[in-house]
Amino acid sequence: MVSLNIKLAMLSTAVMMYTCHPITGSNPLHPLILVPGNGGNQLEARLTAEYKPTSLFCTRRHPARKDEDGWFRLWFDLSVLLAPYTQCFAHRMTLHYDAVLDDYRNTPGVETRVPHFGSTESLLYLNPRLKKITTYMESLVKSLEQIGYIDGKNLFGAPYDFRYGLAAEGHPCHVGSKLLQDLKILIEKASTSNEGKPVILVSHSLGGLFVLQLLNRNSPSWRQKYIKHFVALSAPWGGTVEEMLTFASGYSLGVPLVDPLLVREEQRSSESNLWLMPTPKAFGYKPLVITPNVTYTSQDIPQFLNDIGFQEGKIRYKSRILPLVEQLKAPEVPITCIIGTGVETPETLFYGEGGFDKQPEVVFGDGDGSVNMASLVAIESEWADEKNQTLKFIRVPGVSHTDILKDDDALGEIIGEICSINSQLVKIDFRMNSFTNEMIM
């Protein structure tokens, strides 16, 4: 038996359905491209004869499941949760900085590729064999399909190798620069195949930083022709304090079986992780990491990197990253930022006598659980006086960094905004769920 209160609640529940009503044309929607965040798409690898295993567990026979050309799933695979194989994973994911080339490269003997560029397929689940526990953009894509978007027709995905980032002008960045070029071509093709309509770019997290760089590295005339709107979800404009934890002590992403120290070196090697350090402009002189002897603010990131034993990162941060983040240039295209608020987010890290090999005591502040509020809203104040920059913020209380892609309230805001951008009426149908007599007995 279902109680009376529950029956009434069930009867009053409504399914919110958004319908973007067409004004003219058989395909009125602007094409839309999804750009995922850090770790937000599948990544595959293949081992060559040059590969040197770090242990007996990490031979070229692992994993056993490979395609006929030797490619296997690098991200995400459950073997990362098992300690011996965690080390294999970390070794194969590690990037290496080549001082002569002034650029990053894979571990020798490890080739990587990003499957399904141009499609949303790689963004739905991080592992299609584990859909329930690795779902990523599935809910968002289904919501877009509900209003008329079709994968490969007017809906596209731009997965990328999220380990790589971008660097300041004058420093080569082969993989990151290729992503920008591939994304530019995808934008142009999406527009051309949709009656010349400009494109809506929807990013999540780190993807927003890549999109902003793409826009600012192309001409105003190109942006005016090809970009309709930029919707940034949970964008870490000013980095995160959580990244300092990652570099200092390793970060297991909340997975209880993974020792953070086993993945720390791999996480430090990531070019994009270095890009996500808290920026001086967003965080100012607020204490972020406190030890018995030293307090570090965002102004002290080079010294912090040196003191945690990552001296080589100090040099790269100062030369490649700091000039890149010192100023966020307004791209002069309409931007909507949709962010979660009111979720406990690491704000200050306290380390005791055990040093950085121990996990710190954490004091939390406002944000979305991963990105601090100061970072989420960084461009709101920075671009306040930009006359040619249209900027809108939508705040969704209680929604975390990744839940923004699947929470009902957040999806309602995202789809509503996309309908509005398409310059069409937004119809919200409240349709009563139908229940059989048995269901409400």
Residue carrying structure tokens 């409400």: 440
Residue carrying structure tokens 């300092």: 244
Tell me which of 368, 375, 400, 403 is the catalytic residue: 368
For residues 416 and 6, the answer to whether their CB atoms sit within 8 Å is no
376's enclosing H/E stretch is helix 373-376
Instruction: Fill in the DSSP letter of residue 79.
Output: G
For residues 129 and 238, the answer to whether their CB atoms sit within 8 Å is no
Is 30 in the active site? no
For residues 213 and 164, the answer to whether their CB atoms sit within 8 Å is no
Strand pairing class (72-75; 155-157): unpaired
Tell me which of 161, 252, 401, 403 is the catalytic residue: 401
For residues 36 and 235, the answer to whether their CB atoms sit within 8 Å is no
CA distances for 307 relative to 230, 247, 297, 310, angstroms: 39, 11, 13, 7
Quote the Cα angle for 298-365-204, to 5°: 75
Task: Quote the tokens at residue 77.
Answer: 């695979």
Q: Per 3-state DSSP, what percentage of the chain is helix, strand, and coil (rounded to 5)? A: 35, 20, 40
SS3 82: coil
* Beta-bridge mates of residue 14: 432
DSSP 354-422: TGGGSPPEEEEESBBSSSBHHHHTHHHHHTTT-TT--EEEEEEET--TTGGGT-HHHHHHHHHHHHHHT
Instruction: Fill in the DSSP letter of residue 252.
Output: -
Indicate if the alpha-carbon torsion angle 263, 99, 41, 128 is positive or negative.
Answer: negative
How far is the C-alpha of 107 from the C-alpha of 92, rounded, in Å? 6
Is 423 in the active site? no
Tell me which of 205, 249, 252, 298 is the catalytic residue: 205
Q: How many C-beta atoms lie closer than 10 Å to residue 405's C-beta?
A: 28
216's enclosing H/E stretch is helix 206-216
Strand pairing class (426-432; 14-20): antiparallel
Is 401 in the active site? yes
For residues 338 and 231, the answer to whether their CB atoms sit within 8 Å is yes
Respond yes or no on whether the N-terminal peptide bond of residue 63 is cis (omega within 30° of 0): yes
Residue numbers annotated as active site: 205, 368, 401
